[in-house]
Amino acid sequence: MNILHIDCSPRDESHSRQLSSAVVARLRGKNAGTDVTYRDLGRHPIPHTGTDYAIALSSPATLAEGPRNSAFQLSEQLIREVEAAEVLVIGTPMNNFTVPSVLKAWIDQILRIGRTFSSSSEGKVGLLRDRPVFICVASGGVFAGDRANQPDFLTPYMKVALGCVGLMELYFLPLQATAFLDQEQLATARDSLIAKVDLDEILFNLT
């Protein structure tokens, strides 16, 4: 099994890193011979899409060149990492109610018309094969559940953005209130989040 593991926090003591690593470790434990491709967007951010990319996207002729156009090189590399993976595990902080800009920069390279989605009168149609995506979110406060006291643009945004390319099987693991819980409480919260995911069922569906 191939896993694409992405982390987005800039912090060494990151809770989302710990959670995503724990999910990867559990997947590894259940599958001998698992390969992991690791993208550390938090420590090594990819550049934001620039002029070349915007121009290349805006004309049918340059779009048709696909990976032969140098503006699409990074996009192509990142999309191939997704295509090569059976499972994606994304660790991300919530920043100002949504994803951090390093993750947005990755999304801007992955959602490419004519490559990962097409456009129809009904809307956008994903062109990638669906696969499980674990989204391990750390937030200082509470955004989901009965005690939520702030808006959540991260969850609906990720559903729409990943759904646009055909990734619909999303498992959100929100590790909330990191600003208020102590290490022991955080470890308990992390364990109970992971326990909620039936990895056996997910892995069974993959075979």
Residues 12-31 binding ligand FMN (CB under 6 A) are 14-17
Q: Please identify which residue in 40, 46, 63, 97 interacts with ligand FMN, judged by CB under 6 A.
A: 97
Q: Which CB, 125 or 187, lies closer to ligand FMN?
A: 187
Q: Which CB, 116 or 178, lies closer to ligand FMN?
A: 178
Question: Site mask, ligand FMN, residues 105-144, x = CB under 6 A?
Answer: ---------------------------------xxxx-x-
Q: Does 178 bind ligand FMN (CB under 6 A)?
A: yes
Backbone angles phi, psi at 85, to 5 degrees: -95, 140
- Counting residues that bind ligand FMN (by CB under 6 A) gives 18
Helices 101-110/73-83 angle, 10° precision: 90
- Name every residue whose Cβ is closer than 8 Å to that of residue 156 and which is 6 or more positions away in sequence: none
Q: Which CB, 61 or 179, lies closer to ligand FMN?
A: 179
CA distances from 202 to 74, 87, 142, 171 (A): 30, 10, 27, 10
CB of 34 to ligand FMN, least distance (A): 23
Backbone angles phi, psi at 16, to 5 degrees: -70, -35
Q: Which two tokens stand for residue 45?
A: 């951010």
Say how far apart CA 201 and CA 164 lie, in whole Å. 25
CB of 146 to ligand FMN, least distance (A): 16
Say how far apart CA 162 and CA 111 lie, in whole Å. 8
- Residue ranges binding ligand FMN (CB under 6 A): 9, 11, 14-17, 93-97, 138-141, 143, 150, 178
